[in-house]
Amino acid sequence: QVQLVESGGGLVQAGGSLRLSCAASGTIFTVNAMGWYRQAPGKQRELVAAITSDGSTNYEDSVKGRFTISRDNAKNTVYLQMNSLKPEDTAVYYCNANIRPKALWSTSRNYWGQGTQVTVSS
């Protein structure tokens, strides 16, 4: 069974920083792209940042220059460093990863973490 476990959310003042972590565990063959999404109250879930297995990244326009996504392939972990946080960054942040489990005839599919709350006060 594959699981994504997130940590690092919390309450921070505007201009502050937080670092989110998401570790994939279980019987894993390969971890492909990984990413972070967020969902604010009353809004649709949106992609914040993504990273491929070879380290290529892309970011949602509003976080460019403030957020950095990275990964540790040896630990099957993805990180999101968030700097210069703004109140509009307040949301539940979800980790997503495309993973192929280590099982006969398995195929890759997307997995989601449970979500972690990030609240930025003004």
Ordered per-residue pLDDT tens for the chain, 122 residues: 899 999 999 999 999 999 999 999 999 999 999 999 999 999 999 999 999 999 999 999 999 999 999 999 999 999 999 999 999 999 999 999 999 999 888 899 999 999 999 999 99
- What is the reported pLDDT for 103? 86
Cα(111)–Cα(122) distance, integer angstroms: 33
Cα(67)–Cα(35) distance, integer angstroms: 12
CA-closest candidate to residue 19, choices 95, 99, 98, 76: 95
- What is the reported pLDDT for 59? 98
- What is the reported pLDDT for 120? 98
Cα(107)–Cα(92) distance, integer angstroms: 28
- What is the reported pLDDT for 105? 84
Residues with Cβ within 8 Å of 96's Cβ and at least 6 positions away in sequence, in order, are 4, 34, 35, 36, 37, 110, 111, 112, 113
